[in-house]
Amino acid sequence: MNQFDCVVVGGGMVGAASALSLAELGLKVAIIEKSAPAIFSPEQDFDLRVSAISLASEQLLKQLGAWQQLKQWRMCAYKRLGVWEFEQSYTEFNAQDINQTHLGHIVENRLIQLALWQKLQQHSNITLLCPETLINIEQSPTDVKLTLSSETINAKVVIGADGANSFVRKLANIGTTGWDYAQSAMLINVQTEKPQQDITWQQFYPTGPLAMLPMPGNFASLVWYHDKDEIKRLSALSNGNLAQEILQNFPARLGNVEVINKAAFPLTRRHANQYQKGRILLIGDAAHTINPMAGQGVNLGFKDVKALQHVIAKAIGNGESWHEPKVLASYQQKRRTDNLLMMTTMDALYLSFGHVSPLVKLARNAGLMMVNTVPSLKNKALAYACGI
C-alpha cells in the first residue's frame, strides 16, 4: 500500500497549487484527478472560464514556477477597475494609486491549471494519479486510508480540492450552509471593434451587473447577470442575435462586438461548516463558493493554499508533528473568518444593487461618489482586494 504525507483530491487550479506548495516543503504528495487538462496551442479560441488573478495570486504562481509559462502563453494585464450605476457615480480604481504597475491579469482557468500541471509532472515529490477516482475515505487516529478505483493508498493528511460538489466533503460528513441566487450568469467571449483596453469594468442594474474583462488583442470576456428565465432566453439566441442584444444592453463604451462563444451557469453560495475534520481539510470551492461578481473565487482559493503552506511550514520549523489535527486546526482559524467576511461583503453588495427603492439607490450612488472623495479609503479597499 502506497504511503504519502498528503493526498490532494482534485487537480484543478487550487488543488494543483496546493500539491506543489506542500511538495516544496519536502512532503511526499499524491494528487488524484479524473482527467488531465487539454494541451495549449496559440490558435485555440479563448476558453470561457477565466479568472481575474490578483497580485497576491500572481506572487503565489510565481513562487510555484507557473507564472513564467503563463506569460509565454497568453494573459491580459489590467491597470484600472471601473464600477458605476449612473455615470455621475462612476468610480475608478487605478494601480498607480497603490504604487503598482497593474491590478491583476485576466487568465484562462485551463491555462493556469495546465501551467501548474507542467510543474507537477516535473516534481520528484509528487505522484500524479490520473485518471483516477476516489471511492471512499476511512480515518483512523494516525492516518487516512483512501480507496481509489484501482488501488488503496494511505496518507497522513487528505486535502479536498474537488470543487463545489466535493465528494471529500460528503465522505467526511461536513455540512454546508448556503443558497441558490435568483439569478444566473452568462459568459460571452467576443471579438471587439475597439483595441484591447487596460481596464475591467462593471455597471450595475437592478437585474444584475454587466461586466467586461479584457483579453489579449481585440477580444474580451463579457459577464451578463440576469434572472434565470432571461439568461435562458439569451442562451437560446444565435451568436448574431446575441451580439445585437449586447449592443442594446451593454454600455456604449464596449463598441461593436462579434460573439465567439457563450455559456450560462446558475449562481450559488455554499460555505462548509468546517474546513477541517480530523486529518481531512477542505480548500477552494470545496470549502466555499462565492458570488462571482467581484471575481474573487480563485483568489480566495489561492489564499487557502498559502495559509495551509504557512501552517505546515511553521509546524515543521518548530519540530511539531505537522499532521496532527490540533496543528491543522490553525488552517481553519486562519481562513474561515476571512472567507466568510468576503462572502458576506459580496452578498451585501449583491443585495444592495438589486434593491429598487429610490432611497437605497440614492444611498448606494452617494456611497460610490463618496469613495472618490476619500482616496485613503478607496486605496485601502483596493489594496485589500489585490491581496497586498
Structural domain that includes position 220: 181-267
- Per-residue model confidence (pLDDT) at position 1: 59
65 and 152 housed in the same domain: yes
130 and 53 housed in the same domain: yes
**Rounded mean pLDDT, 152-173:** 97
Lowest-confidence pick of 133-137, 304-308, 360-364: 360-364
Domain boundary among 215, 244, 267: 267
165 and 308 housed in the same domain: yes
Residue predicted with more confidence, 166 or 357: 166
Domain boundary among 232, 267, 302: 267
Residue 123 domain-assigned?
A: yes
108 and 205 housed in the same domain: no
- Per-residue model confidence (pLDDT) at position 43: 92
User: pLDDT tens digit string along 325-345?
Assistant: 999 999 999 999 888 888 777
Residue 89 domain-assigned?
A: no
151 and 188 housed in the same domain: no
Mean pLDDT of the chain: 89
Is the per-residue pLDDT at 380 higher than 60? yes
Res. 367 pLDDT band, cuts 50 70 90? low
Residue predicted with more confidence, 365 or 7: 7
- What global pTM score does this model have? 0.91
189 and 170 housed in the same domain: no
Residue 95 domain-assigned?
A: no
Is the per-residue pLDDT at 275 higher than 50? yes
160 and 198 housed in the same domain: no
- Per-residue model confidence (pLDDT) at position 255: 87
User: Which residues, including other chains, have CB under 8 Å from residue 259's CB and lie 6 or more apart?
Assistant: 188, 189, 190, 239, 240, 242, 243, 246
Residue 332 sits in a domain whose CATH number is 3.50.50.60
Long-range contacts at 20-23 (CB < 8 A, ≥ 24 apart): 20/64, 20/65, 20/66, 20/116, 20/119, 20/120, 20/123, 20/126, 21/60, 21/63, 21/64, 21/305, 21/306, 21/308, 21/309, 22/308, 22/309, 22/312, 23/123, 23/125, 23/126
173 and 110 housed in the same domain: yes
Task: Report residue 85 as a C-alpha cell.
Answer: 450605476
- Per-residue model confidence (pLDDT) at position 378: 58
Is the per-residue pLDDT at 91 higher than 70? yes
pLDDT cut 90: percent of the chain above it: 72
Residue 20 domain-assigned?
A: yes
User: pLDDT tens digit string along 9-47?
Assistant: 999 999 999 999 999 999 999 999 999 999 999 999 999
Residue 372 domain-assigned?
A: no
Res. 269 pLDDT band, cuts 50 70 90? confident
Sign of CA dihedral 306, 308, 312, 317: positive
pLDDT cut 70: percent of the chain above it: 87
Residue 186 sits in a domain whose CATH number is 3.30.9.10
Q: How many domains does the chain have?
A: 2
The residues facing 259 across adjacent strands are 190
User: pLDDT tens digit string along 105-142?
Assistant: 999 999 999 999 999 999 999 999 999 999 999 999 99
Domain boundary among 267, 300, 335: 267
Residue 348 domain-assigned?
A: yes
66 and 165 housed in the same domain: yes
Residue 337 domain-assigned?
A: yes
135 and 262 housed in the same domain: no
155 and 197 housed in the same domain: no
167 and 155 housed in the same domain: yes
User: pLDDT tens digit string along 206-230?
Assistant: 888 899 999 998 999 999 999 999 9
Is the per-residue pLDDT at 359 higher than 50? no
- Per-residue model confidence (pLDDT) at position 92: 86
Residue 374 domain-assigned?
A: no
